[in-house]
Amino acid sequence: MEFAKLSLSEWIERCREFSAPYCLTDAKKFRLKDVDPGDTGELTSEDKPEAREALVAGVEILAELQERLYAQDRWAILLIFQAMDAAGKDGAIKHVMSGVNPQGCQVHSFKAPSAEDLDHDYLWRCLKVLPERGRIGIFNRSYYEEVLVVRVHKDLLKRQKLPPSLITKSIWDDRYEDIRNVERYLVRNGILIRKFFLHVSKKEQKRRFLERLDNPDKNWKFSAADVRERRYWDDYMHAYEEAIRATATKSAPWYVVPANHKWFTRLVVAAAIVEAVENLHLAYPTVSSEQKKELAAARAELMAEE
């Protein structure tokens, strides 16, 4: 692999090839069990150092693209991250966005909804923090929890204060449809959407939990609730599969990213984002002849000072 030594355009082409196998734009027949969480594509653990270098290159490209995004102030980018606990959402977000100007990037983590959240429709808390034009918005969990954790634990649905007549058998299909429609609306408004499911295996999650228990510096990351959620693993996998099937679209694709190897996960995520943003063909705003005159006048004024 010669990833790190590539020119910009070669890198971008590589990003396209590299992320494409994990991208779903139409997933009606998608089966989660066909995706191996331990997959590292054409790479092996020997490629790890180079993969890390490639990630650094990707992060630099992303930083450059984000400058243009900000200057142009037309598009916004929404990146959604979903995963089981300890799949590496936080680390992926941290590494992939590490080069980006903090002013151009907004991260929101969605935990269990507050009383105020529950007094509104379920999209409310997410829609009010959508990224502004020129910004990258990251949702660490999202409204997808409404068809994941809420589907796995149906008592959560009861707490949502919905009129009982609206809680029907088709509620999940209704939600998928609403999510598809809202995402289409956002895309039509210039918000580019990319969704990532970091797919870790149950075995690897156990290993990471044990590591959190064994290592005092990682104890803070451990929550007993996470082990309880593990019991519902199969229900979660079913809910993820159904949600991905119903909401992977051409304009708002899902990436199902193997997540047992963090170095690989991060590279796929970075490549997918670079590829998507590059497709916008962002350029710095051009200066009109009128503006050029203004700039010349400003220069003359500065030069005329003592």
Residues that bind ligand ATP (CB under 6 A): 85, 90, 109-113, 140-141, 145-146, 149-150, 156, 223
The H or E element that residue 212 is part of is: helix 202-214
Minimum separation from the CB atom of position 55 to ligand ATP (A):
21
Residue 8 interacts with which of ligand ATP, Mg ion, none, CB < 5 to 8 Å by class: none
In sequence order, the 6+-apart residues with CB closer than 8 A to the CB of 203 are none
- The neighbouring-strand residues paired with 198 are 83, 257
Residue 279 interacts with which of ligand ATP, Mg ion, none, CB < 5 to 8 Å by class: none
CA distance 18 to 14: 6
**Does residue 145 touch Mg ion according to CB under 5 A?**
no
- Nearer to Mg ion by Cβ, of 57 and 92: the residue is 92
Tokens 């199969």 identify what position? Answer: 234
235 by Cβ neighbours in 10 Å (0-12 / 13-18 / 19+) ranks as middle
Minimum separation from the CB atom of position 240 to ligand ATP (A):
12
Single-letter residue type at 69: L
Residue 145 interacts with which of Mg ion, ligand ATP, none, CB < 5 to 8 Å by class: ligand ATP
In sequence order, the 6+-apart residues with CB closer than 8 A to the CB of 68 are 282, 283, 284
Binding mask 27-66 for Mg ion (x = CB under 5 A): ----------------------------------------
- Nearer to ligand ATP by Cβ, of 25 and 109: the residue is 109
Residue 146 interacts with which of ligand ATP, Mg ion, none, CB < 5 to 8 Å by class: ligand ATP
Name the nearest CA neighbour of 136 among 109, 169, 100.
100
Minimum separation from the CB atom of position 86 to ligand ATP (A):
8
Minimum separation from the CB atom of position 127 to ligand ATP (A):
13
CA distance 123 to 110: 11
- Give the 3-state secondary structure of residue 80: strand
Minimum separation from the CB atom of position 178 to Mg ion (A):
26
Among 47, 85, 145, 241, binds Mg ion (CB under 5 A): 85
Name the nearest CA neighbour of 58 among 18, 11, 91.
11
In sequence order, the 6+-apart residues with CB closer than 8 A to the CB of 232 are 152, 153
- Nearer to Mg ion by Cβ, of 65 and 239: the residue is 239
Residue 237 interacts with which of Mg ion, ligand ATP, none, CB < 5 to 8 Å by class: none
Minimum separation from the CB atom of position 186 to ligand ATP (A):
19
